[in-house]
């Protein structure tokens, strides 16, 4: 059974291959038929083209024959229209000599005019050179003049600035003088009023009294400041250590006077067992409660 199935499978494969070949051959046949159909359609055009080709070949042969005939006519020296004569008459030697003389005379005149023009050109070029040199000199003069003008303008600007500054300063001085004159008049009026009140036996103005009290207060404050400064100097002298360094620490005793009657009242150093000075309580003491003293029961 397996052999039959295998043979059947091989046969199916061969049949499939043959079918593919048949399909490919059918496609080739269709392509050939299409080409035949196209060539059949182009056949009338080929006949017309062959007829045109024959006509063109005939025309080409006629053209070549015509070219050969024209070449023969061109090469033939005895043909008509081969020579072209120039119109006019030949001059005689006398006429040629006369013509030559006239041309030489015209040439001499032209040369004379050319020399005159060259002379004029030289004169004009000389004058132009002089003018150029003068213009160059004038350029230097104009440059110097422009520099001088710029210097004068600068000086004028500086002078105007100085004048404006002086005018401004003068106006300020005038304003100050007016203010001072006004103040002087006020002071004179004030002094006159004070003198009149003194002559009449009246007291002075409250403003004067206030000013006088202010002066007394200033003098008192000045005296207090002097005393405070002298006290600071004394304290600084007391706080100066023997090595010349100033300190702000409070002085602590390093010796004591014995209270015994048999000894002399002389200071005696504490030594290693100096008394302890407790520090002041800090701000954290507010967090510590005071101890409650309990009564003692007997």
Per-residue pLDDT of 112-129, as tens digits, reads 999 999 999 999 989 998
Q: How far is CA 46 from CA 49, 185, 231, in A?
A: 5, 139, 144
Are 264 and 244 in contact by the 8 Å Cβ rule? The answer is no
Q: Domain boundary at 47, 76, 105, which? A: 76
Question: What is the rounded distance in angstroms from the CA atom of residue 257 to the CA atom of residue 263?
Answer: 10
pLDDT of residue 13: 86
**pLDDT score at 109:** 92
User: Is residue 167 domain-resident?
Assistant: no
More confident residue, 243 or 85: 243
CB-based contact 248:232 (threshold 8 Å): no
Name beta bridge partners: 256: 268
In the block, residue with structure tokens 């032209």: 110
pLDDT band at 298 (very low <50, low <70, confident <90, very high): low
Give domain status of residue 170, yes or no. no
At residue 84, the pLDDT reads: 66
Across 120-129, 190-199, 235-244, least confident range:
235-244
Per the model's pLDDT, the better-predicted residue between 271 and 62 turns out to be 62
Decide if pLDDT at 130 tops 90.
no
Establish if 159 belongs to a structural domain.
Answer: no
Domain boundary among 38, 61, 76: 76
Question: Residue 82: is its pLDDT beyond 70?
Answer: no
pLDDT digits (tens, 9 = 90+) for 17-47: 888 899 999 999 999 988 888 887 777 777 7
| Residue 296 within any structural domain of the chain | no
In tens, the pLDDT along 156-168 reads 999 999 999 999 9
pLDDT band at 245 (very low <50, low <70, confident <90, very high): confident
Q: Does 69 fall in a domain?
A: yes
pLDDT at 241 over 90: no
Q: Which of 41, 76, 111 is the last residue of a domain?
A: 76
- The total domain count for the chain is 2
Cα→Cα distances 20→25, 73, 95, 282, Å: 9, 76, 109, 115
pLDDT at position 233: 81
* Per-residue model confidence as pLDDT tens digits over 132-153: 888 877 787 788 888 889 889 9
Least confident of 41-45, 63-67, 93-97: 41-45
Is 58 inside any structural domain? yes
Residue 63's domain spans which residues? 1-76
245 located within any domain: no
Across residues 90-96, what is the average pLDDT?
Answer: 83
- What number is the average pLDDT over the span 237-263? 75
**Between residues 245 and 189, which one has the greater pLDDT?**
189
Position 143 scores a pLDDT of 82
The pTM assigned to this predicted structure is: 0.28
So what's the pLDDT on residue 81?
A: 66
Averaged confidence pLDDT in the chain: 84
Q: How far is CA 101 from CA 33, 96, 164, 213, 271, in A?
A: 98, 9, 91, 138, 156
Please report, rounded to a whole number, the percentage of residues in the chain having pLDDT higher than 90. Answer: 28
What's the pLDDT score for residue 49? 80
| 192 inside domain | no
User: According to the model, what pLDDT value does residue 89 have?
Assistant: 77
């Amino acid at each position: 059974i397996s052999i039959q199935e295998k043979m059947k499978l091989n046969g199916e494969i061969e049949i499939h291959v043959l079918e593919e070949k048949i399909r490919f051959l059918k496609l080739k046949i269709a392509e050939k038929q299409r080409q035949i159909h196209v060539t059949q359609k182009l056949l009338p055009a080929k006949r017309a083209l062959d007829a045109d080709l024959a006509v063109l070949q005939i025309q080409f042969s006629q053209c070549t024959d015509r070219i050969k005939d024209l070449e023969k006519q061109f090469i033939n020296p005895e043909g008509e229209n081969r020579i072209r004569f120039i119109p006019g008459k030949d001059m005689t030697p006398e006429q040629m000599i006369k013509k030559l003389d006239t041309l030489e005379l015209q040439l001499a005149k032209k040369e004379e005019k050319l020399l005159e023009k060259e002379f004029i050109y030289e004169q004009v070029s000389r004058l132009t050179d002089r003018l150029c040199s003068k213009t160059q000199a004038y350029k230097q003069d104009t440059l110097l003049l422009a520099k001088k003008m710029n210097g004068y303008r600068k000086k004028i600007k500086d002078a105007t600035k100085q004048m404006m500054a002086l005018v401004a300063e003068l106006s300020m001085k005038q304003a100050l003088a007016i203010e001072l004159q006004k103040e002087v008049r006020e002071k004179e009026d004030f002094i006159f009023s004070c003198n009149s009140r003194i002559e009449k036996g009246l007291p002075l103005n409250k403003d004067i009294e206030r000013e006088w009290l202010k002066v007394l207060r200033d003098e008192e404050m000045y005296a207090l400041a002097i005393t405070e400064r002298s006290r600071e100097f004394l304290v600084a002298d007391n706080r100066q250590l023997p090595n010349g360094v100033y300190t702000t620490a409070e002085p602590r005793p390093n010796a004591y006077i014995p209270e015994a009657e048999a000894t002399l009242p002389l200071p005696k150093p504490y030594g290693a067992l100096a008394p302890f000075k407790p520090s002041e309580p800090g701000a954290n003491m507010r967090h510590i409660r005071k101890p409650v003293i309990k009564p003692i029961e007997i």
